[in-house]
Structure 1
Amino acid sequence: MAENRRTTLTLTDQDPAAVQADVLVLAATKDDGQVNLVADALPEETAGHVQSALTALGAEGGAEETTRLTGVPGVSAELVVVVGMPSGPASRTERLRRAAGVAARALGGKESAAFALGQSSTEEAVAVGSGAVLGAYTFAEHHGVGKAESAKPALGRAVVPGVPADDVETATAQARAVVDAVRYARDLVNTPPNLLYPESFAESVTERAAGSSVEVEVWDTERLQEERCGGILGVGQGSGRGPRLVTLRYEPEGAGKHLALVGKGITFDSGGLCIKPGASMVTMKMDMAGAAACAAAVVAIAELGLPVRVTAYLCLAENMLGELAQRPGDVVTMRDGRTVEIINTDAEGRLVMADGLALATEQGPDAIVDVATLTGACIIALGDRTMGVMGNDDALREQVVELGNEVGDTAWPLPLPEEIRPSLDTVVADLKHTGERSAGASVAATFLQEFVGKRGEGEEAEQIPWAHLDIAGPAFNEKTPWGYVPKGGTGAAVRTLVELARSYAR
């Protein structure tokens, strides 16, 4: 089997033209029909040569466009690649990330590349470096003899010049922690479901956290029964591979706030007895992307040393059709003691998440955020690249949306209309887990909201702020790679969770 080649990241205070690298990556913009090289910090001779070449070659400076030049004077690199800077409503840092990712994808097999895209601050340099490393991501671990030798390896090293000397060490460490977390989440999502199942997922997370300040606890089937986690058990009982609940705890000294995360971890979703069409099952190894995001984010938060307490609950199960698979009409008892009537076994994610939310509530955190590939309805509403954000607290929901858009996890708020709740009523149990057909993303979130409780007791108890991230669209890219997003697992929501923890640390 082939091994994944990982691009390393180096930030430096060197001038772009002086960096020793195989390739120098520059950027071009299109303004009023004119393509202009972003020539900051370049020798005049170099900038003039490249600008003339772009004009002569008819470069358009658009997103996803790269132009290769050789024999460029004044630089040490043998090859210069000019990448078009994307336009649109995205922030400047996100445009830099995307441009760097496009260039990195075009440089597979190169040992090193310096990226000088006009970054003018440490924050922008980190964005360029992050985009380059994430754009160069490949998942070749399972390439066999037919593909291992011919597969195009990733870029070996990405160098980002122009960072103030005092910032280099800290900025490099922070950037590496976050991109490593995104890559880990991508790896988990891309791993075939015969290799990644609840037990092996738990083992991977335990290994990932080893040596860090993150404590990991794993509940197996027997412990889940003792702890009355009927939602997770019900979904997992149709599989020969039992469910797990993984709890990660990061509790640094001096932490002032407590953030709880809950991740959906359906390692494969057949739909259960309400079986999915065959074509819809092909990508269902990605139905654990929420749990992957939470696990990756917690370890990154610990590596960054953020002074905030974080507890994550990974709700892991395989939704299969074994002889004990739960049936429509079954009633299960959840962690909080309430009973739920099962209507559609393909709406399993909200069941495992309900137990996780109940467990998170018991800890009385300052906020709960859950992440799940929960509904196809969210894809219908927002498309493949945007996560829907819902919740019971306007300020938290708006904060998550703002942070997501800042870091590149495109987000949009969705409502939880009050008229949806009555559709979850049933005469058989306390509630059922599906409701009206329309507004499916909001219906699922309304069910989840039922399991988010209050902090404190009696009249002084306060509702815990909660936000729900439906990443069904952006968690997995079935189409052509774009920006720094590869085909397959994307690592959606990891950066948002890290930034949210950073905001609580402040």
Structure 2
Amino acid sequence: MAKSSEVTLEAISGELKKKPSDVVVIGVRQGADGPELAANPLSAKAAEALQASLTALGVTGAADQLHRLPGVDGLGADVIALAGLGKNDDGESLRRAAGSAVRQLAGTSTVTLSFPLADVAALAAVAEGAALGAYAFHEHRSSRDGLKTPVTTVRIHTELAGADGAKEALRRAAVVGRYVNSTRDLVNQPPNVLYPESFAAAAKDAAKPLPVKVTVWDEKRLEKEGFGGILGVGKGSSRPPRLVKVEYAPAKSRAHLALVGKGITFDTGGISLKPPANMDEMKSDMAGAATVLNTALAAAELGLPVTVTAWLCIAENMPSGTAQRPSDVMTVFGGKTVEVLNTDAEGRLVMADGLVAASQEQPDVIIDVATLTGAQLIALGDRTAGLMGHDGVTAALKASADAAGELMWPMPIPEELRPTLDSEVADLANIGARHGGMMTAAAFLREFVGSDATGETISWAHIDIAGPSFNNGSAYGYTPKKATGSALRTLLSYAETLAS
């Protein structure tokens, strides 16, 4: 599988004409009295003239707005682009403005961003947005005619170029961009290219340059060791399932974070077949596994003093003569039995195996990530992930999400939902109450979280990314169409809090 091209990030200061670029991007705010040109490298006379012309040019400063104008002397570029900053000056507004500008300027090679940056945190936000915006997925095109190549070099014009922490901020932004875009690449792959065996191989290839150990369970080992959830879901496919463990364990680790990801490389629903409309989007049902894989790799590249173990629970859910049936009873790794009432509630079955396996190592925290329920979209929409689990973990993850600029919202797991998962023939059923289905699914997963050395339940959280992982609408900010790479930045930020 091809890898996305990677953008080069630089911070520069001084006269722009000494560092020529194709486009210089200047910010415009939505002020109370109309559009306001943000601090910029233009001469006072040029800035005054441009400010006076903003309304006539149709510039409002709204997010995602980009206007191109002819360049002026002294900027070292033939084009000026005016990028909307919106109404706020926070890090996420800068991140989105940078990402939107770089995304919309695809087809140019070198872009200079000149936004007002108060500190290194603001520089980091702009750099990260630029890295996320420089993305396209063209791997399976026979011709590149008419396709625009992403920007390859982004220079950030700021007096902070030589400040303490600036170099590390750019490095982290590049790493974040690389692994979010790698996640997007995996999710965007068609299911005839990305299936359990090839996904496992891709994980091994991605880990080769890093201090990471990868272990793969094939179907024979899965059967021998009793991973009934993953095997049950994968029974109907000619492509057998896999479990992949990706382990980054630095010598001076301060904590152990286990990540469990749903990796359904294509989900037909199995015997409980899905309607045909939009079934093509079910190639994205492995986004959780792609996310936890790349979070572990990003932590390794950044050298975080935290052990990160990612469990990728990979299967293809197909209907066939060998597929599991509604009313089958399967035994999850560790011994619990589950009555399968709906084969389209398969993600929780593979995740159950992964949660038990992760628990056996008694990590400090387990976080699972999955495109688990359509109920998540009904409850929280297309862009906000559902966050459930132990209060301490969900609160910390919400703070990490806010810092990373990702939308997550804590939801409860009401106790009255657990009895709806009771089965007359097994320990529990794989579906329960339909209303509040996102929370019912979390109640199911909670049953497979194990105990620590003291006998207490391991701290755990579940993130349902069914909506935010795949963008069916237009691109916005640093978010492209189709795969988004959602949740990786939150998980990485959370791992960094464990490190500190």
Q: Match for residue 45 of structure 1?
A: 45
The aligned runs of 1:334-483 (5 Å cut-off) are: 334-391=332-389, 393-456=390-453, 460-483=454-477
Q: Match for residue 489 of structure 1?
A: 483
Q: Match for residue 287 of structure 1?
A: 285
Partner SS, residue 486 of structure 1: coil
Q: Match for residue 151 of structure 2?
A: 155
Residues 11 and 168, structure 1, Cα contact 8 Å, conserved in 2? no
Determine the C-alpha separation between the residues in 1 that align with 2:106 and 2:429.
50
Cα deviations across residues 5-48 of structure 1 (Å, max 9, x unaligned)? 62413222423734421110011011113211111555423422
Partner SS, residue 270 of structure 2: coil
Change (3 A) 1:257 1:118: same
Structure 2 residue runs of 5 or longer lacking an equivalent are: none
1:14 alignment partner AA: S
Cα deviations across residues 136-193 of structure 1 (Å, max 9, x unaligned)? 2100011113xx2221211121111223324343222211111100000000000000
1:260 alignment partner AA: A
Moved more, 259-268 or 395-404: 395-404
Partner SS, residue 233 of structure 2: helix
Q: What is the CA RMSD across the aligned residues, in angstroms?
A: 1.6
Cα deviations across residues 425-464 of structure 1 (Å, max 9, x unaligned)? 11101111110111000000000000001101xxx32221
Determine the C-alpha separation between the residues in 2 that align with 1:168 and 1:115.
15
Q: Match for residue 182 of structure 2?
A: 184
Determine the C-alpha separation between the residues in 2 that align with 1:330 and 1:36.
64
Residues 46 and 74, structure 1, Cα contact 8 Å, conserved in 2? no
Residues 115 and 157, structure 2, Cα contact 8 Å, conserved in 1? no
Q: Equivalent of 1:259, from 237, 257, 260? A: 257
Cα deviations across residues 329-374 of structure 1 (Å, max 9, x unaligned)? 0000111201100000000000000000001110111100000000
1:405 alignment partner AA: D
Residues 39 and 47, structure 1, Cα contact 8 Å, conserved in 2? no
Q: Establish whether residue 36 from structure 1 lines up as the match of residue 32 from structure 2.
A: no
Q: Establish whether residue 65 from structure 1 lines up as the match of residue 98 from structure 2.
A: no
Q: Match for residue 499 of structure 2?
A: 505
Determine the C-alpha separation between the residues in 1 that align with 2:141 and 2:4.
12
Q: CA deviation at 1:419?
A: 0.3
Moved more, 101-110 or 197-206: 101-110
Post-superposition, which runs of at least 4 consecutive aligned residues in structure 1 deviate over 6 A? none
Q: Equivalent of 1:316, from 308, 314, 317? A: 314
* TM-score for the superposition, normalised by structure 1: 0.95
Q: Establish whether residue 331 from structure 1 lines up as the match of residue 329 from structure 2.
A: yes
Determine the C-alpha separation between the residues in 1 that align with 2:306 and 2:457.
20
Residues 263 and 289, structure 2, Cα contact 8 Å, conserved in 1? yes
Q: CA deviation at 1:409?
A: 1.8
Equivalent pairs: percent with the same residue? 47
Determine the C-alpha separation between the residues in 2 that align with 1:208 and 1:5.
13
Change (3 A) 1:29 1:132: same
Aligned length: 497
Q: CA deviation at 1:491?
A: 0.3
Q: CA deviation at 1:108?
A: 1.4
Cα deviations across residues 115-140 of structure 1 (Å, max 9, x unaligned)? 11212222211211221221221000
Q: Match for residue 231 of structure 1?
A: 229
Partner SS, residue 181 of structure 2: helix
Residues 17 and 43, structure 1, Cα contact 8 Å, conserved in 2? no
Moved more, 148-157 or 196-205: 148-157
Residues 396 and 466, structure 1, Cα contact 8 Å, conserved in 2? yes
Change (3 A) 1:29 1:293: same
Partner SS, residue 11 of structure 1: strand
Residues 258 and 358, structure 2, Cα contact 8 Å, conserved in 1? yes
Determine the C-alpha separation between the residues in 2 that align with 1:75 and 1:164.
18
Residues 110 and 151, structure 2, Cα contact 8 Å, conserved in 1? yes
Residues 86 and 98, structure 1, Cα contact 8 Å, conserved in 2? no
Q: CA deviation at 1:387?
A: 0.3
